[in-house]
Amino acid sequence: MKVLITGATGFVGRHIVRELLKKGYTVGCSVRDVAKLERLFGDKVYPYRVDLADKPSLRKVFEEFQPDYLVHLVGILVESKRHGQTFMKVHYLYSKNLYEVSREYGRLKRVVHMSSLGTHKDAPSMYHRTKFMAEEELKRSGLSYTIMRPSLILGPEQKLFYDLWSITKFLRLFALPGGGGYLFQPVDVRDVACAFVKALILEESEGKTYELCGNRRVSFRELLEDIFDYWKRKVLLLPVPKSLMYVGGLVVERVLQPPPFSSDQMLMMWRDNICGLDPEVEKEGVEKLCGREPISYEESLRWSLEEFRRKINA
């Protein structure tokens, strides 16, 4: 069985590709950087250099690879308008093009789509609104689908670790939006990979949206304290009002592209990033799709930070 995946070289994508290969799938990867893909997977996957804004190039991939399934992961956390990378373009227009070509192709058995916890039609952030628009585009497409909404994903490639490591290496001070009380329910990237691969063939997952969360809710402050404790790094966590950081984000966005943090990221914190707030979607996605309890927060963070240290010391 053939699976076409977008975003294969990203943080989550590389773990899903490995899980697909382990399960015996033939994997085609739609990427911008073929050399990076080859460094990660060698000749184990089929590489396709594709611009998701270009529908003819997408049609060519479908014609050549002839996939049975599609996994769509491409997304951004911060806009880079200087490089044309906006939420509207990357989250919505890319998805719209992909699903229109998928419908024309007409032979996909299932699409598994990466969305995000907090996605809602009334969300204040453009990040979440464009994620919601992409979900709705898929639902209208007539394709068989499953949508995933993970909380913060833990794994060695988590960008937060790299940002924290570099920022606090010399400056032992870190700003906490709103005092750091915002809650996450972190989920292990290995659980996310399991859920995506299982959803391809499980009949009961068709047409459903799943929340993916771990076993424990932690505040942003608690998460940072746990990370810095593991690194044995003393860092002063400075509470800053979200409104002030929102204004700071507006300023930083004009100077740096992409910015280290954005005004939209402050708007993403419109409510806690935990499972169970939206009654119309499926809770306990890891349990329902993988048939087991999620990897514990403690084990996930330990593994993630150990592997992260190996990567930066390599």
Q: Cα(60)–Cα(120) distance, rounded to whole angstroms? A: 34
CA dist 94 to 62, 192, 281, Å?
Answer: 15, 22, 24
Q: Tell me the pLDDT tens digit for each residue of 124-181.
A: 999 999 999 999 999 999 999 999 999 999 999 999 999 999 989 988 999 899 899 9
Q: What is the pLDDT of residue 260?
A: 65
Residue 84 pLDDT grade (very low, low, confident, very high; cuts 50, 70, 90) = confident
Average pLDDT over residues 217-235: 97
Q: Tell me the pLDDT tens digit for each residue of 180-208.
A: 999 999 999 999 999 999 999 999 999 99
Segments forming the whole domain that contains residue 30: 2-313
Q: Cα(34)–Cα(40) distance, rounded to whole angstroms? A: 10
**Short-list 74, 59, 67, 73, CA closest to 25:** 67
pLDDT for 270 beyond 90 = no
Contact 237, 174 (CB under 8 A): yes
Q: What is the pLDDT of residue 125?
A: 95
Q: Tell me the pLDDT tens digit for each residue of 36-82.
A: 999 999 999 999 999 999 999 999 999 999 999 999 999 999 888 77
Q: Cα(191)–Cα(194) distance, rounded to whole angstroms? A: 5
Q: Cα(280)–Cα(263) distance, rounded to whole angstroms? A: 29
The domain total for the chain is: 1
pLDDT for 215 beyond 80 = yes
pLDDT for 296 beyond 90 = yes
- Longest CA–CA separation in the chain, Å: 56
Bridge partners (DSSP) listed for residue 146: 112, 208
Q: What is the mean pLDDT of the chain?
A: 94
pLDDT for 259 beyond 90 = no
pLDDT for 88 beyond 70 = yes
Bridge partners (DSSP) listed for residue 237: 174
H/E segment holding residue 30: strand 26-31
The CATH number that applies at residue 19 is 3.40.50.720
pLDDT for 83 beyond 80 = no
Asked which of 145-154, 176-185, 242-251, 274-283 is least confident by mean pLDDT, the reply is: 242-251
Half-sphere exposure of 70 (CA within 13 A, CB side): 28
pLDDT for 258 beyond 70 = no
